[in-house]
Amino acid sequence: MAHLLMVESWVGSMSRLLPRAVREAGHEFTFLTRDLHHYLRSAPEGTAHPLLGARHLLTAETNETDALLPFVERTHEALRFDGVITSCDYYLPTAARIADRLGLPGPTAEAVETACRKDATRRALAASGVPGPRFARCASLAEAAEAARGIGYPLVLKPVDLCAGMFVRRVDDETALTAAYRALDGFPVNARGQRRNPVVLLEEFLQGPEVSVETVSYAGSARVVGVTDKSVGGAPAFIETGHMFPAALPAADVEAAVDTAVRAVKALGLDEVVAHTEIKLTADGPRVIEVNPRPAGNRITELVRHVTGIDLAAAAVDVALGRQPDLSRRPTGLSSAAIGFLVPDRAGTLTAIDGSDRVRSADGLLELQLAEPGKAVKVAGSNNEYLGHVMAGDADGPGARDRVETLLTALRPRVEAAR
């Protein structure tokens, strides 16, 4: 039995999946957070929070890594950790630095810090010849306007250090650029109380379908688990509206996406890590959007597990302990699995979601999760405002996405406008 230090977590599905993977492998974990109430306010899926299953709960200022490291060293002397893990993007560099300080397995802190900074990722990939969009790093609105004229509209404006699609916007002219820049400029601190880097990334707008490649790197080799497709809506925002695994693509496109993702992971120096690499399949070939040094979000890990039997959360636990992960496929009875998200298009208060009984009784349903009446609703601007999701599978082929989209049309949220 191993003992992991878990440094913060999300409050969504991964906060359930990662502790489950630790427990099912026969291990235990100690949870370290700066604010336990952040988690207790939002128990996932209406249950007792799984982080309360920790062997120990520790409180320390996790946003001040230099001060945190001596505290963790002293704690390690008493509790003896075998690995360090987190599921929260904002603490991936912290977990890597702790593992390095304690001499425990894991990716290098430098590699993780580069992957978690979109501008640093762009520079590293470009230096290694891994294809991506034309880009510019801008420290002011004036710099952004000048860079935009050089790259040419339309463009994508991104914060370099946020996640879940927050403040990522398509901009078609200088007026839209100014509005997007100022909106981001008004968000100086992220959801975990960390002060943001004020620079932005401008990127060439790429045309083509978007996919993600799920990989597990261990002992210097990146193993590909599969390719997931993605549907996006909410323009000018980029909101993930659904995914299917495996992606329904020609074999040549799958091969090109896989090759590009493996090159990207290696270019960043990522090893002993589960990675989720997002790629656009353009007319000129695949282009890397970003590389995430952690298991995929939005329940993609569950799509993979339903089809292949491979548990990417369990793989993340294994590599954090320096152990070779089990990536053998097992029969599951499903050829494809898909998820679709209920994305709000109006603000107010949720009073009901009609049609749920019909969806719950549908063939092939794997999951149905819906927000409770009384929830405050705002028009979605990122992947943080969903009203629920539908997950379904297909035993005979790539029909899971069509099944999910049909079920989503049966769900009709009722939102009462604010008075």
Q: Is residue 115 part of a domain?
A: no
Q: How many domains does the chain have?
A: 4
The domain that holds 240 is classified in CATH as 3.30.470.20
Q: Same structural domain for residues 290 and 350?
A: no
Structure tokens at 278: 């997002």
d(CA 96, CA 94): 5
Q: Is residue 44 part of a domain?
A: yes
Q: Same structural domain for residues 221 and 311?
A: yes
Task: Give the domain-ending residue among 315, 332, 349.
Answer: 332
The CA-based angle 89-30-272, given to 5 degrees, is: 50
Model pTM score = 0.95
> One digit per residue, pLDDT tens: the chain, 419 residues?
999 999 998 877 788 899 999 999 999 999 999 998 888 776 555 566 787 789 999 999 999 999 999 999 999 999 999 999 998 999 999 999 999 999 999 999 999 999 999 999 999 999 999 999 999 999 999 999 999 999 999 999 999 999 989 999 999 999 999 999 999 999 999 989 999 999 999 999 999 999 999 999 999 999 999 999 999 999 999 999 999 999 999 999 999 999 999 999 999 999 999 999 999 999 999 999 999 999 999 999 999 999 999 999 999 999 999 999 999 999 999 999 999 999 998 999 999 999 999 999 999 999 999 999 999 999 989 988 999 999 999 999 999 999 999 999 999 999 998 76
Q: Same structural domain for residues 69 and 137?
A: no
Q: Same structural domain for residues 327 and 380?
A: no
Q: Same structural domain for residues 225 and 315?
A: yes
